[in-house]
Structure 1
Amino acid sequence: MKELKEIIGNNISLLRKQNDMTQQELAEELAYSDKSISKWERGEASPDIEVLVKISELFQISIDSLLSENTLDEQQISDKKKQGQIKANKIIITCLSISAIWLIATVLFITGKFFNNKLNWPIFIWAIPLSCVLLLIFNCIWGKKTLICFIVSLIVWSLISCFHLQFLLNTGYNIWYIYFLGIPLQVAAILWHILIKTSKRNK
């Protein structure tokens, strides 16, 4: 009979792979290092009860299933289908929400042309950072935390581009140097991401 540590390790490994997660991604979700995840999965150590509760909540299973041998193997096929459907629904909801932003932008564009006889095409430029903000919100709710830094970078540079182009259209003055503002903001986003990862690894 397998030791409890080995059973828990096998179950954690199985759940992680079923959900298409790397050890690093699971470590970030649990606020632990990837080395700890590796030790758990190899049966060299076992997580404490608080971590077991987090794992059960993360993967939506009971702690009994996490501690039992072969229980997860029996549920693997059905759970994988459910997870796949949930993942697909999340992607669809995200895409529909972002599409709504572009639909509103299109309506405003057509309305402006109809009433003011102006082509308000900058509306589509502003739709880019708005879409990124919405993507960031959904990613924070149910996405991969590793993408946050990338999405924040998109928001920073797209907003700066919007201000630059809008100011150029309204005044005719090219404030190209506004892009220098993006450098410290980008560095801050990267350092913040590194700080979060480092603090989690040290736990």
Structure 2
Amino acid sequence: MMRNEEIKTNFANNIKELREKKNMTQQELGNALGYSDKSISKWEKGDVLPDVVTLDFVANYFSLTVNDLINSNGTVSYGKYKKINTIIWGSLFLVIFLANLVFFFLNYIANVDRAWLSFVFALPCFFTVVLILNAIFYDYKAILVSTSLLTWSLALCFFLGYLSYNFWYLFVISFCLQIFYIFIGLIVKVFQKRKRN
């Protein structure tokens, strides 16, 4: 069983390492977490150990567990982060491969006009996978970004897929949804700050 001082030291080393690997200043990390740069400095010096709720919030921010933050081996396990990156890159490769396969079939075998649309229609598929993964690992900023990209790519698909119907107003709807997503993001940010205080 680890002593309090050992936990403080491990957390201090790990939080500093995480911040530096993300190329963030103490001020930037403090802003992202809703704390002052002085608080981050105290954590990194090992002067203060945050409460359990804050530890959990910090762990979620870095896509880690609390145990990862306080472990004694001096390096933080990036298992979750690497896993989501691997899945996202794998799904991107799969979507590109399938889009090329569909393009080849439509263009050379079926001789369809506008076969290039297979690449455009691949975008919503990819952003759907990214959205699902971000929802599983709960990173609200990434969820908002992937939702926005999914919305715009769907609008683009309908617009290009049905040019004869002149669906330009889909971009107006997408713009309104984008403002809604930004509003939701601000509400979540304020709610998280109040929850910590």
What TM-score do the two structures reach when normalised by structure 1?
0.68
Name the amino acid aligned to 1:196.
Answer: V
CA shift at 1:127, angstroms?
0.7
Map 1:1-203 → 2, pairs under 5 A: 4=4, 10-19=9-18, 20=21, 22-25=29-32, 27=33, 33-35=34-36, 38=39, 41=43, 43=47, 46-48=50-52, 58-59=64-65, 61=67, 66=70, 72=72, 75-76=73-74, 79-80=75-76, 82-83=77-78, 87-88=81-82, 90-119=84-113, 120-142=115-137, 144-168=139-163, 172-203=164-195
Is the contact between residue 15 and residue 59 of structure 1 (CA under 8 Å) also seen in structure 2?
no
Distance 2:127 2:143 in 1: 11
TM-score (norm 2): 0.69
Change in Cα spacing, 1:114 to 1:52, as seen in structure 2 (3 Å) is closer
Q: CA deviation at 1:142?
A: 4.1
- Whole-angstrom distance in 2 between the partners of 1:7 and 1:87: 25
Contact conserved, 2:103 with 2:118, CA < 8 A, in 1?
yes
Name structure 1 gaps, 5 residues minimum: 28-32
> In the superposition, relative to structure 1, how do residues 95 and 196 fare at CA in structure 2: closer, same or farther (>3 Å)?
same
Q: CA RMSD in A?
A: 3.6
The residue type equivalent to 2:184 in the other structure is: W
Of stretches 185-194 and 16-25 in structure 1, the one that deviates more from structure 2 is 16-25
Query: Following TM superposition, by how much is the alpha carbon of 1:122 offset from its aligned partner in structure 2, in angstroms?
Result: 1.2
Q: 1:97 to 1:143 in 2, by over 3 A?
A: farther
Q: CA deviation at 1:52?
A: 5.3
Identical residues among aligned pairs (%): 22
Amino acid at match of 1:199: F
How far apart, in 2, do the equivalents of 1:45 and 1:87 lie? 24
Deviations, residues 154-200 of structure 1 (Å, cap 9, x unaligned) = 111111111111110xxx23222221101221111001111111001
The structure that has the greater radius of gyration is: 1
What amino acid maps onto 2:132 in structure 1?
I
CA deviation map 1:65-121 (0-9, x unaligned)? 94xxxx73xx21xx35x53x7645542332111111121122122222344221422
* Larger RCO of the pair (alpha carbons < 8 Å, separation 6+): 1
SS of structure 1 residue aligned to 2:162: helix
